[in-house]
Amino acid sequence: MADDYQMPKGELMRGKRGIVTGVANHQSIAWGIASQLAAQGAEMAFLHLPGMERRVAPLAESIGVKLLSPVDVTDDASMDAAFAAVKAAFGTIDFFVHAIAFANKDELKGSFVDNTTREGFLRALNISAFSFVDCARRAAEMMPEAGGSIITLTYMGSERAIPNYNTMGVAKAALEAAARYAARDLGPKGIRVNALSPGAMRTLSLAGIQGGRGMLAKGRSLSAMKEDTSMEGVAGAALWLLSDLGRSTTGELVHVDAGFHIMGFSDDAEGEG
Ligand SMILES: NC(=O)c1ccc[n+]([C@@H]2O[C@H](COP(=O)([O-])OP(=O)(O)OC[C@H]3O[C@@H](n4cnc5c(N)ncnc54)[C@H](O)[C@@H]3O)[C@@H](O)[C@H]2O)c1
């Protein structure tokens, strides 16, 4: 987030409670989203990877997060305990933010065909896609009759083949399909499910991808707006989808990437031939 940027304050999330996953540090996309939700009056619980308390606690405290609980999404007992803790504190929830992904570093470089292993592939799909299904089911069970809103975070490496993104691109394709199926299942209960697809952003996750800096630079130069994806833009889109502003939108894949996904040829191809 730009240091001088203040997330717009208001009441759009007043009276709403929810869970935010995936805050690891102040650069995390989940942190930008949580800051915006707090500025609009949301009450939140953070579910973070075990061992991250020291980093996450001061951030959570600074925006009045009510509950911090560790969760490892690969472990059923850990999931049971984390969701039970939120249920005990909040009773019901109105929104859920899934911002979790992982693939072994060795799978995020070079040749997709040569470097993808069974173990690495399944691990990436488990943490980055199945976790969403599991979270959506547990979150939906805690939502009131009035319904609720769930979002997940994806990347355009699901739709196009991006260098080094490899296994994670396949996991994101599964995640996006899972979000559509969840939207279909949960729609009759008034629960909306959407996926946000930001352009590359400077976070811990990006650092795990070989050539991550290149993804940032390419994303910028190939985008329609010729600029980086901003945390404020991603947080604003999340606010739209999680608040009642988004009430008729579900099953959608929303790109927040300064127009990276609409571009065909890059500008330097113009005038050739
Ligand atoms: N940074 C980007 O360029 C970018 C672009 C588009 C989408 N995304 C997506 O946004 C989401 C958030 O990533 P980020 O970029 O903010 O990076 P991040 O590293 O800050 O967030 C990833 C989070 O996943 C959590 N996590 C990993 N394994 C877990 C497990 N087993 N159990 C529970 N939590 C686990 C980590 O603790 C971390 O908080 C991810 O889904 C990522 O793929 C990132």
Indicate the domain borders of the chain: 17-259
- Give the pLDDT band (50/70/90) at residue 270: low
Output the pLDDT for position 172.
Answer: 98
The ligand 1 atom nearest the CA atom of 127 = 31
Determine which one of 46, 90, 96, 165 is catalytic: 165
Task: Say what the pLDDT of residue 258 is.
Answer: 98
Residue 59 in contact with residue 66, Cβ under 8 Å?
A: no
Catalytic residue among 31, 83, 90, 155: 155
Cα(46) to centroid(ligand 1), Å: 14
- 3 pLDDT tier (thresholds 50, 70, 90): low
User: For residue range 151-179, what is the model confidence (pLDDT) as tens digits?
Assistant: 999 999 999 999 999 999 999 999 999 99
Active site residue 5: no
Q: Using CA positions, which residue lies closest to atom 24 of ligand 1?
A: 100
Percentage of the chain with pLDDT > 70?
97
- Residue from 256, 247, 242, 230 nearest 12 by CA: 242
Using 50, 70 and 90 to split pLDDT, how confident is the model at 268? confident
Mean pLDDT throughout 101-113? Answer: 97
Ligand 1 atom closest to Cα of 100?
24
Mind listing the pLDDT tens digit for each residue in 31-68?
A: 999 999 999 999 999 999 999 999 999 999 999 999 99
Residue 181 catalytic? no
Q: Which fold has domain 17-259?
A: Rossmann fold (3.40.50)
Give the per-residue pLDDT at 271. Answer: 56
Query: Which carries the bigger pLDDT value, residue 264 or residue 20?
Result: 20
The mean of the pLDDT values for the chain is: 95
Helix axes 131-141, 76-90, angle to 10 degrees: 30
| Pocket around ligand 1 at a 6 A CB cut-off | 22-24, 28-30, 49, 52, 71-74, 99-102, 127, 153-155, 198, 200-201, 203-206
> What value does the mean pLDDT take over residues 76-92?
98
Of the chain, the percentage scoring pLDDT greater than 90 comes to 91
State residue 171's pLDDT score: 98
Tell which atom from ligand 1 comes closest to the C-alpha of 199. 5
pLDDT in tens, 191-250: 999 999 999 999 999 999 998 888 899 999 999 999 999 999 999 999 999 999 999 999
Query: What whole-number distance in Å separates Cα of residue 124 and Cα of residue 212?
Result: 18
Residues ≥6 apart with Cβ < 8 Å to 2: 230, 231, 232
In the predicted model, what is the mean pLDDT of residues 113-127?
98
148 with 193: CB under 8 angstroms?
A: no
Rounded to whole angstroms, the Cα distance separating 162 from 95 reads 31
